[in-house]
Structure 1
Amino acid sequence: MRQLHPGARFLWVDIEDDSELVDDLEVETFPTLLIGQGERLCFIGPVLPGPGAAQRLIQAAEDNPAMSAASPSAPAGTTAAAQALLSRLRQSC
């Protein structure tokens, strides 16, 4: 996937090993994907394992600057916690 998106950064966050980064974000389903562009949260939610679903979401975020962070399967309150995680990830890298 990195070859398809050379300008993107891909980070793996383990919710147990990196609990200080995850903070208040409630991850209930694995894998859960967070996509951000700069400080803008584009997507947060569970995805099917494998590159297909993630590839489509990344492409949609690149193609549509107005892509919403809302996900029908994301628990209530996830967007604020996910936005905070995105900010922490940007600061830590």
Structure 2
Amino acid sequence: MPALLQNEPHPYHQGGKIKAHIAKYGTVMDSWFPLGGRGFTQELFNDPTISAIAKAPEKSSAQIINRWNLQAGNIAIPVSSNEKHIIEDASV
């Protein structure tokens, strides 16, 4: 059985059905595009709910989305060449 399935889970595409299906086999979800990829990144970053959640603890939308993935049990490895973004990602 595969240990992991790469998919695109993020708040707009949560993948609940596939995640439930693969869990029966001990397979976990890898968030291939943890920050929305395929055109959803800016939409997620500007989402009013995500922005409001980020405002209270003074976090970025990216940090909120990364935390969402972790709490959903997804393996998320965000990638950036921007040092500020790398530090933000690591602080989640």
TM-score of the superposed pair, with normalisation by structure 1: 0.29
Larger radius of gyration: 2
Higher helix share: 2
